[in-house]
């Protein structure tokens, strides 16, 4: 069926015998071939969202991004005036190809007219630290900047907003920018210093997992979410292990793991264990690995890999729904609007995070030097998602609450605000590129 000057079309589809309305709202006026009303399958599963987001990223001038509304079961795609009907129609084809029917999982797919493309928003994002006079005036206040696909804007977070900064933003960055008061985040490594060396206790790590195993003193092979510790005579650093990692060109490996790049330098050997301040003692079960590849610095993703690890494809999970451990089934870039779980070894699991953006840069202090850390996703919650020591912990979403439950990895914990309600985590695309590989599943 050929339609011209299309304003609205809809298709009724069926998912495992249940009617599902797929409402595709198209506000463009270009002549185009738009799919008709043929019955087909589509479902609101994470694989579908990931496939659509990947397709959209291939046409940065035609689209303004992807976001979900989980409460309304809606997947939204921002469409610009440069999009052809053929490109837009490809969204439906991609969604169908990745759909796995799930009874009762009814979602709608909406095309939303957007004024700014992924290309233009990306250019503005890159200008935040260079465009003058804005860059000079804002440098001491700049905390966070990111693309908000849903709002069709680049949000620039500042610790202070003044009339002169508003004028400079408009003059240097244009109308696609929105200023917001946002606290400058802190990296979430836990460090203690002391005058006398701590007592060191080695606890035997069984390879048979009794009920006494935990993320602070674990059995082997180790799980994602385990505590990592490094020490010398005056300092102890604690972070969290994320998940096993497979370098490019290798089959699935369990002797390499991933954590946050800011946790420590290359050639640092981490142990699995923790520091007990009450009796000034370090307890550990064994070596968790040695940092062999690190990504940390201006405009880089925050991640590192540890060699000589001993891991399995399970992450800690204390939720009442799914028990003590969940299996890593897959990995993907997060999608704006989705709910994620943060799983650090100090805060433990919190599954109330809502992803606000998948493309964020932040200003943080590293030894007195300001570092622009990029390739982060940003999630918020009304409760604490993370705190110092959670750096490197896995961030994921559930794809099944069966027995065992299954998760899809979205990244690892990097930074947060003082209350823990704002979480910045290294996104999956950034990690894959920076660490030259992918999570083991």
pLDDT digits (tens, 9 = 90+) for 180-194: 999 999 999 999 999
**What pLDDT does 207 receive?**
82
Q: 3-state SS of 77-91?
A: EEECCCCCHHHHHHH
Q: 176-182: long-range contacts at Cβ-Cβ below 8 A with a sequence spacing of 24 or more?
A: 176/115, 176/116, 176/120, 176/121, 176/124, 176/152, 177/124, 177/153, 178/148, 178/151, 178/153, 178/154, 179/155, 180/155, 180/156, 181/157, 182/143, 182/144, 182/157, 182/158, 182/422
**pLDDT, tens digit (0-9, with 9 covering 90-100), for 308-338:** 999 999 999 876 454 578 999 999 999 999 9
**What pLDDT does 29 receive?**
33
**What pLDDT does 108 receive?**
82
Q: 127-130: long-range contacts at Cβ-Cβ below 8 A with a sequence spacing of 24 or more?
A: 127/172, 127/173, 128/154, 128/156, 128/173, 128/361, 129/372
Euclidean distance between CA atoms 434 and 174, whole angstroms: 31
**pLDDT, tens digit (0-9, with 9 covering 90-100), for 361-372:** 999 877 678 899
Euclidean distance between CA atoms 322 and 328, whole angstroms: 13
**What pLDDT does 23 receive?**
41
Tens-level pLDDT at each residue, the chain (441 residues): 332 222 323 332 222 232 333 344 443 333 333 233 233 345 667 788 889 999 999 999 999 999 999 888 888 999 999 999 899 989 888 887 766 655 556 788 889 999 999 999 999 999 999 999 999 999 999 999 999 999 999 999 999 999 999 999 999 999 999 999 999 999 999 999 999 999 999 998 888 776 788 999 999 999 999 999 999 999 999 999 999 999 999 888 999 999 999 999 999 999 999 999 999 999 999 999 999 999 999 899 999 999 999 999 999 987 645 457 899 999 999 999 999 999 999 999 999 999 999 999 999 877 678 899 999 999 999 999 999 999 999 999 998 888 889 999 999 999 999 999 999 999 999 999 999 999 999
**SS3 of residue 118 by DSSP:** helix
């Amino acid at each position: 069926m050929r339609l011209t000057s299309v304003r609205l079309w809809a298709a009724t589809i069926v998912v495992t015998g249940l009617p599902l309305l797929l409402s595709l709202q198209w506000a463009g006026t270009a002549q185009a071939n738009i799919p008709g009303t043929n019955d087909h399958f589509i479902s609101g599963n994470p694989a579908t969202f990931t496939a659509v987001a990947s397709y959209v990223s291939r046409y940065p001038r035609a689209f303004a991004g992807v976001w979900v509304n989980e409460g309304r079961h809606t997947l939204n795609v921002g469409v610009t005036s440069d999009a052809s009907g053929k490109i837009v129609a490809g969204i439906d084809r991609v969604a169908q190809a990745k759909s796995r029917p799930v009874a009762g999982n009814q979602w709608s797919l909406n095309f939303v007219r957007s004024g700014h493309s992924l290309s233009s928003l990306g250019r503005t994002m890159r200008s935040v630290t260079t465009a003058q006079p804005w860059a000079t005036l804002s440098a001491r206040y700049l905390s966070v900047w990111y693309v908000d696909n849903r709002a069709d804007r680049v949000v620039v977070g500042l610790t202070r907003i003044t009339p002169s900064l508003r004028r400079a933003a408009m003059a240097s960055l244009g109308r696609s920018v929105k200023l917001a008061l946002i606290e400058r985040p802190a990296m979430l490594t836990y460090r203690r210093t002391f005058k006398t060396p701590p007592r060191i206790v080695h606890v035997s790590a069984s390879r048979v997992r009794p009920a006494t195993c935990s993320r602070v003193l674990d059995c082997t092979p180790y799980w994602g979410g385990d505590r990592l510790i490094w020490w010398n005579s005056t300092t102890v650093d604690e972070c969290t292990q994320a998940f096993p990692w497979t370098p490019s060109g290798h089959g699935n490996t369990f002797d390499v793991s991933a954590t946050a790049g800011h946790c420590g330098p290359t050639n640092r050997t981490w142990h699995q264990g923790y520091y007990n301040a009450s009796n000034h003692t370090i307890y550990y079960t064994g070596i968790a690995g040695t940092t062999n590849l690190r990504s940390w610095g201006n405009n880089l993703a925050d991640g590192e890999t540890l060699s000589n690890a001993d891991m399995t494809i399970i992450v800690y999970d204390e939720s009442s729904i799914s028990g003590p451990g969940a299996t890593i089934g897959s990995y993907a870039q997060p999608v704006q609007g989705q709910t994620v779980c943060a799983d650090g070894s100090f805060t433990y699991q919190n599954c109330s995070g809502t992803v606000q953006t998948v493309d964020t840069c932040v200003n943080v202090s590293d030894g007195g030097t300001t570092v622009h850390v990029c390739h982060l996703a940003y999630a918020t919650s009304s409760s604490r998602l993370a705190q110092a020591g959670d750096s490197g912990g896995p961030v994921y979403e559930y794809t099944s609450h069966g027995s065992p439950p299954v998760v899809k990895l979205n990244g690892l914990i990097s930074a947060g605000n003082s209350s823990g309600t704002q979480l910045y985590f290294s996104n999956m695309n950034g990690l894959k590129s920076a660490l030259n590989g992918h999570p083991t599943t």
